[in-house]
Amino acid sequence: VAGNISNDLRTIHQTLTQLSFFYQGIFYVTGSLEYEDIPNIDLRSNEISTICSNIRNVTLLYNHVVILDGIAVVGANGWYGQKSMQSYAKQFSDIAYLGMSLERLQLHLDVTKIVIVTHSVPGPELFFGEEEIDIYDQMPPSTCLASDTMHKVTHWVFGSYNKEVDTIMNGIHYIN
The answer to whether the CB of 163 falls within 8 A of the CB of 130 is yes
Q: Which residues fall within 8 angstroms of residue 25, CB to CB, at 6 or more apart?
A: 57, 59, 66, 68
- C-alpha 138: how far from chain center: 17
Question: In the prediction, which pLDDT does 17 show?
Answer: 98
Rounded Cα gap, residues 17 and 83, in angstroms:
31
First-residue to last-residue Cα distance in the chain:
10
The SS3 call for residue 23 is coil
- C-alpha 155: how far from chain center: 12
User: From first to last of its 176 residues, what are the pLDDT tens digits of the chain?
Assistant: 999 999 999 999 999 999 999 999 999 999 999 999 888 999 999 999 999 999 999 999 988 999 999 999 999 999 987 777 788 889 999 999 999 999 999 999 999 999 999 999 999 889 887 766 565 567 889 999 999 999 999 999 999 888 899 999 999 999 99
The answer to whether the CB of 120 falls within 8 A of the CB of 80 is yes
For helices 85-106 and 41-53, the axis angle rounded to 10 degrees is 50
Kindly tell me the number of DSSP H helices and DSSP E strands found in the chain: 3, 8
Closest CA to 117 of 137, 141, 88: 141
Question: In the prediction, which pLDDT does 6 show?
Answer: 97
The SS3 call for residue 151 is coil
